[in-house]
Copies of this chain bind each other. A is one copy, B any other.
C-alpha cells in the first residue's frame, strides 16, 4: 500500500503492509497488558505522556504539516500548519487536563448505603478509526477519539486512513516516543495500516478490544457498529449528514445575497469536505430562493476547482451530481471532474420543493466535496414540514428575522430532536473544541444521540464503564 498525491494521482512516500487477522488478534491480546497500567497510573503520568506528545508534535510542526499537505492536498497554511495543528495539540492537552482533574469520572458517594460509584476505563482497547478529511485532528493516533480514549485511560489500537499513511506513521513515531518516555507499556498505543474488512470486524470479538471510535462513511460505520452491537461493546460512530440550513421568508427576502455568500463560503471550506458542510439550504419563498441560487451560482462558478482528498471521494461526488440530475435538479454550475489528480468543479444544484419531496433520498444524501443544493420552498409552513421529515443530523442552522419569530420558534422546537447542534444564524462548519460542544446527533448522523465526539470531558465518557463499589 502506498499513499497517492491527490494533486497528481501519483504514488507518494513509503510502502506500508496491511495486517493479517493473526496480527490484529495479537494486537488485541497485547493491549490487555496495558489495561491495568493505564487504569492505575498516576493521572500526571498519563497526562505527561499526552503533553510530551503535543510538544513533540510542535517540534515537528512544519514537517508534519508539509507531509499532510502532500498526502491530502489540504492547504499547508493556515489550515494544516496552524488551525488543524493547534486543534490537535489543544485536544491532547485537554485530555491531559481531564486526566489531572478527573472531570470525566461522575463520582457519586452514598455513605449511608456504603456505595461509591464512578466511571472507569473499559478494560480493553478502543479501536480508533479516523476519516480522510482531518489527517491530524481526527487521526486515530492523534485526534479527538484517541485523546478521549486515553483521557478515560484505555489503550488505543489505531487504524491509519489510506489517504494519509505517511502522515500517520510520522505522528505515531512521536506518539510512541512520548509513550515510552512516560514509561507506559508499549501496547498503550498501537497502530496498523490496513486490514481485510472481515478481519476488522472480527477484531471486535477479541477480549482485548472493548470499544470503537469511528469517523467516516455510513456504510463502513454501520458495518463496524453492527459488529460491536452484537457483542454489547460501545461503538461511537460519526457518519453522515447534510446539515441543512433553513431560511425563513422574511430573512430570505431581506438578505438573500448575504445569506448566499455565507452559505457558499461554508460549502467551499475545506473543499466541501467537512462533515458539517451545510449541503442543502431550504429557502422559504420562491423569489428569494431564486436570488440565493443566482448569487451562489456566481460565487461557485468563479471558484477554482477543488483537489479532493481521494479518488473515491471524486467518484462518489460525480455519482451524487448524477443522481441529483436524474432526480430533476438543475445543475447551475460545475458538475464535472477537471484537470489532473482528483480535481472537481464547484457545483451548485437547484431544485424546487416538489422535486425534493419526490426524491428525498437523493437530495438528502451526504456528498463530500464542493457541492451544495438550493431548495426553493413554497413558504414557512412547508419549511417546517421539511424539518419534520429530517433524518438525524450533526447540525442545522435557522436563519430568521424579527418578523420570523414564530416560525423560528417552531423550527427550533422540531430541530432540537433532530440534530446534535442547533445554530442560530451561524453556518455549521467550524466545530469549537469546547466542553459545551455537541458534535453528535441522532442516527444516521451518529450511532447514538446521547454522546458527543468533540469536547472533553463528555467525549471521554463514550469510552468508559460505570462501576459501583459497595462496602
Contacts and interface: CB of A to CB of B under 8 A. Distances in A.
Interface string A451-471: 110010010011011111111
A47 interface: no
B392 A232 contact: yes
A155 interface: no
A420 B466 contact: yes
A159 interface: no
A115 interface: yes
Interface stretch (A83-91, A261-269, A313-321, A429-437): A429-437
Interface residues of A, number: 70
Contact of A436 (B109, B421, B471): B109
A123 to B, nearest CB: 3
A359 to B, nearest CB: 20
A440 interface: yes
Contacts of A422: 467-470
Nearest to A461: B450
A115 B436 contact: yes
Contacts of A434: 108, 110, 112-113, 115
Interface string A231-266: 111100000000000000000000000000000000
A369 interface: no
Contacts of A323: none
Count of identical protomers in the assembly = 2
A251 to B, nearest CB: 14
B234 A120 contact: no
A108 B457 CA distance: 11
Interface string A403-443: 00000000001001111111111100000101111101011
A226 interface: yes
Contact of A417 (B120, B230, B442, B455): B120
Given A417-B121, A423-B471, A449 B436 contact: no
A448 interface: yes
Contacts of A451: 466
B470 A233 contact: no
A109 B435 CA distance: 8
Interface string A20-64: 000000000000000110011000000000000000000000000
A417 B458 contact: no
Contacts of A435: 108, 110
A302 interface: no
Nearest to A471: B424
Among the interface residues A419, A421, A442, A470, which one has the most CB atoms of the partner chain B within 10 A?
A: A470
A106 to B, nearest CB: 7
A40 to B, nearest CB: 8
A229 B223 CA distance: 12
A449 B122 contact: yes
A447 interface: yes
B117 A437 contact: yes
Nearest to A434: B110
Nearest to A417: B123
Given A35-B417, A113-B432, A465-B417, A458 B106 contact: yes
A221 B117 CA distance: 26
A143 interface: no
A109 B436 CA distance: 5
A444 B232 contact: yes
Given A108-B436, A119-B450, A426-B470, 12 more contacts: A39-B416, A108-B458, A109-B436, A231-B443, A232-B447, A233-B443, A234-B450, A424-B469, A440-B466, A450-B461, A450-B465, A458-B466
8 contacts: A35-B417, A109-B436, A115-B437, A117-B438, A124-B417, A232-B448, A421-B467, A421-B470
Interface of A: 35-36, 39-40, 106, 108-110, 112-117, 119-124, 225-226, 229-234, 392, 413, 416-426, 432, 434-438, 440, 442-444, 446-452, 455, 458, 461-462, 464-471
CB-CB nearest 6 A-B residue pairs: A232-B443, A123-B417, A438-B468, A110-B436, A449-B465, A229-B229
